[in-house]
Chain A
Amino acid sequence: MNAPTPINHTQAEAGLVARFDAVRPSLAGSIAVTALRDAAAEQIKATGLPHRRVEEYKYTDLRAFMKSAAPLAAPATSAEAKSVLDGFESYGALDRYRIVIANGTFNADLSDVDALAAEGVTVTDFNDGLAGENGSELLATPKMAGQDGTLALNTAFVQGGVVISVKDGADVSKPVELVQVAVGEGAQVSRNRIVVAKGATFKLLETFAGDTGAGETNVVFDYDVADGAKLAATRLMAGKAEGAKLFTTLARIGADAEFKALGFLAGPAFARNQQFISFTGENSEAKIYGVTMARDRDLADQTLIVDHAVPHCNSREFFKTVLDDEARGVYQGRINVAPHAQKTDGEMMTQALLLGEGAEMANKPELEIFADDVLCAHGATCGEMDADLLFYLRARGIPEAEARTLLVLAFLSEAIEEFDEDTVTEELGARVRAWLAA
């Protein structure tokens, strides 16, 4: 590998280097963890923020977007976090448990720790894990993520998070909302390990409350789906936001397991939802959905790699994007099929609806297949709203704005309905309506 060429730091990069020096002593972790943080910070210092000449960030130039590095958000009290939560609407009256991360660190007071324990779910502070013997294991990243800049930023600055362990065979009765709460402005960097043990069933709702101002939000969700386990994760990022929203999924899926995920992005000026998913056991299924809406000059990016490293697994990737004004949408999806991963079934589809004449979609679905006995397909479409459909609805008396709403909702609903999680279907539909009405 070539040594990275030294770069001229942007203001944000210089700020990040200074931020790291300032916070390093106060960040959690064993000596091994600190070494990983140092290496990640060194990477940022040497190569800068990911930018358009890095293949994976070709359309998503974080370096150009980030004008400065806001300080990390200071620790928040329970009362402060609670008051933000009280004014936060996520899933309305849905019966659910809650786990709260406030300004990047776990808040046990506001979390349903005891009730979850009774259901076989333990929730512990990520920072306790980082300080422990195997702390560095919590920061492990998969090979396919390479030198990913978003992950490096997370590793360097991670303030905390949770480790959620669902015990063998547990079937948790309610979904669990894992909410990242921002109290005051500032960058939020957290990491969460979710372990769903053998035969367990778990539904996770990932939400984001409060306003980080210009500070970036960088959250890693690291899932271990054991043999025979089922995990459904819904990531809901809705509402206007000035700072970059950077989300990373790392998932390992054991044998006979099911993993379902839907990433919903609507509103932020700059959002990237990236996922690195690998099958580690046979006869498993991953269904990955994306629902993306952007307007103004905003950017929303859904990027993923699904690694079929073992035979007999199915994956489905279905992404829908609606862009208005001069917004930019990005879909980069890759299915890897290893040489021995026979009988892989992969079906990837990305569809974009352009409402604004200046809107642009970069659709890049890819297959990298090294096995011969597989069934893999990919497709991409991009178009405007169908005038005949619109006319049909209007001819029945539905006013134009409402007809458009119905059609956008219909377009996005295909992904929401295939995701097929009753607990979120209605709320996500309401979010689409809210976005359209805004």
Chain B
Amino acid sequence: MILHGYIVPGRPLPLLAPEKNPHWAELRRGFEQAREEIKVSGADLILLYSTQWVNVIGHQIQGDPNPEWVHVDQDFHAFGTMPYQLRMDADFAKAFEAAGRGRGLFTRAVSYKGFPIDSGTIQALQLLNPDNALPACVVGCNMYADRAETIVLAKAAVDALKATGKKAVAVAVTALSNRVFPRMIDPKDDRLYSAKDDEWNRKLLEMLEDGRVEDVSQVIREFSQQASGDQRGRAFWWLSGVLGQHNGYAGKALAYGPLWGSGAAVVSLSPAPERNLSREFDEGEVETFGGERGVLAGGKTAEASAPAAAAAAPKPVSSGAIHTSAKKAPKAVGAYPHARRQGDFIFVSGIGPRQPETDEIPGGPVRNADGAPRDYDAAAQTKAVIENIKAILEDAGSSLDAIVDCQCFLIDMQRDFKAFNEVYRQYFEGIQATRTTVEVRALPTPIAVEMKVIAKA
């Protein structure tokens, strides 16, 4: 899971020369505030995407556990060298690679001595994590990737977090407006390149401070057109992707200012479900990457060819049995998991109303301990069934909303259907899953209702 999200700038002036301009110093203080948040966040990984690590062949992931070199920036070589010694989570890089492949991406963990780590990554890790207290995982930015592919990359990162049980903070290394002074300037004269760029940046920051991460991802193309976005805003697509593509965040702009004319900000985003504003989807959801992008005529879009890629791709790392914790769901009464992820779907086993840990049946069992029938509350049982399914799906990263099909089993249709149907309506009216309801003679435990669902992963 992701605990916090951060946006930080890549031009390495806050690292190399904070004393040369008050804005650069302020940005550095922004990094330091973010560092303090990360320190107490409980994270065990920094997951970082850098627009300065430009990729052509799919997406590369840094897999060298201890990259070490003396780096010199291509532009700012006169401001000094950037020696680095970093700590990467090589196992996580492998898990991320596998998860990416599972979603049809060409992901590749790379581990080579002397690999040129980019200035943006070095600045971010040295200022956010100076003593390498946390290991990091760094992924590059493919220069051809569209929004769909970048979101699939983000989902693969989340798959890998689930598979490894890691808690991460996500860091997007990117400029806001990316127009720079095309010349050497006196550092003390640095300012935003234009009033127009400044205004667009402030608009973006306003949305981010409002926690509207997904809204920013949706408007970033327009921003990039207008304010010369860094890598067309790919880092914002990625960040919203790893943060779950919604607007339920509390944002703080810790610092904002110019870096050689470009817009630079340190922004922190923390989950705030109560603030979740409505979101609008103007593009279809995409789960897998389908190969070549539609840059040239005849190219296929990611969405259009997704099924073919999914068929060809190896199994996702997160595929397979999902055993929900006994604290959250009733324990199974046989050799089966609560659910199983396969491809884009989660298949949930038949679930009854028994309560996690206690096995208590809300509304009472249908028989007494001696086997004699007793009066029970079918509505209470139905509600408990649905709540159990909800917990199982949410634990697997899905939700009730994602249910596409539902099979319902009642032991007494005549007695219970009306009550069952009313509770069902309360939960499912807006979901509109397909449904089949049948009467069965008995269920394995003394319950009256069981449901079995299939949901989107």
To the question of whether A and B form a pair in one complex, the answer is: no
